[in-house]
C-alpha cells in the first residue's frame, strides 16, 4: 500500500517502512506524528483519489532526527558594473520513518 501525502508545501509518495526527509516539523525526536493530508491512497489496481484529500485517511510516522541540508551557494554578478554578491543557505529538515498507512 502506498500514499501521496502533502507536508511543508510539497508532495511525497510514501510506502510503509520508508525514510524520507521533509520540511522541518516541530516535534521531538522519537515522537509519533499523524500526517492527515493524504491526497491519494493506492493498493495494487485500486486507487482512491481525494478531492482534495481522502476522507478518513491518515499516515502514521515516527520522527527520527532533525538536521540541515548541505549548503547551497548563491552567487550574483553584473558584468562590467563591479557588482558581486555571495550568499549561502542551509535548509532545515526532519527525517521521518513512515509507519502505518490507513485508508
Q: What is the pTM for the complete model shown?
A: 0.86
Task: Answer yes or no: is 42 within a domain.
Answer: yes
- Predicted confidence at residue 8, as pLDDT, reads 94
> Residue 76 falls within a domain, yes or no?
no
Intervals of the chain under pLDDT 70:
none
User: Is 83 inside a domain boundary?
Assistant: no
Quick one: three-class SS letters along the chain? CEEEEEECCEEEEEECCCEEEEECCCCCCCCEEEECCEEEEEECCEEEECCCCCCCCEEEEEEEEEEECCCEEEEEEECCCCEEEEEEECCEEEEEEEEEEEC
- Residue 84: inside a domain: no
pLDDT score for 103 = 84
- The Cβ-side half-sphere exposure at 56, using a 13 Å CA radius, reads 2
**Domain assignment of residue 16, given as a range:** 2-66+93-102
Q: Domain for residue 17, yes or no? A: yes
Question: Is 12 among the domain residues?
Answer: yes
Number of structural domains the chain divides into: 1
pLDDT attached to residue 35: 94
Q: What residues contact residue 72 under an 8 Å CB cut-off, 6+ apart?
A: 88, 89, 90, 91
Answer whether residue 80 is part of any domain: no
Asked whether residue 82 is domain-assigned, the answer is no
Closest to 59 (Cα-Cα) out of 9, 30, 21, 18: 18
Amino acid at each position: 500500500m502506498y500514499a501521496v501525502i502533502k507536508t511543508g508545501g510539497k508532495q511525497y509518495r510514501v510506502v510503509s517502512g520508508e525514510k524520507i526527509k521533509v520540511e522541518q516539523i516541530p516535534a521531538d525526536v522519537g515522537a509519533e506524528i499523524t500526517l492527515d493530508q493524504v491526497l491519494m491512497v493506492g493498493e495494487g489496481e485500486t486507487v482512491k483519489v481525494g478531492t482534495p484529500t481522502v476522507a478518513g485517511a491518515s499516515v502514521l510516522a515516527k520522527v527520527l532526527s532533525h538536521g540541515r541540508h548541505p549548503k547551497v551557494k548563491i552567487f550574483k554578478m553584473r558584468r562590467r558594473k563591479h557588482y558581486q554578491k555571495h550568499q549561502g543557505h542551509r535548509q532545515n529538515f526532519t527525517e521521518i520513518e513512515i509507519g502505518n498507512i490507513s485508508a
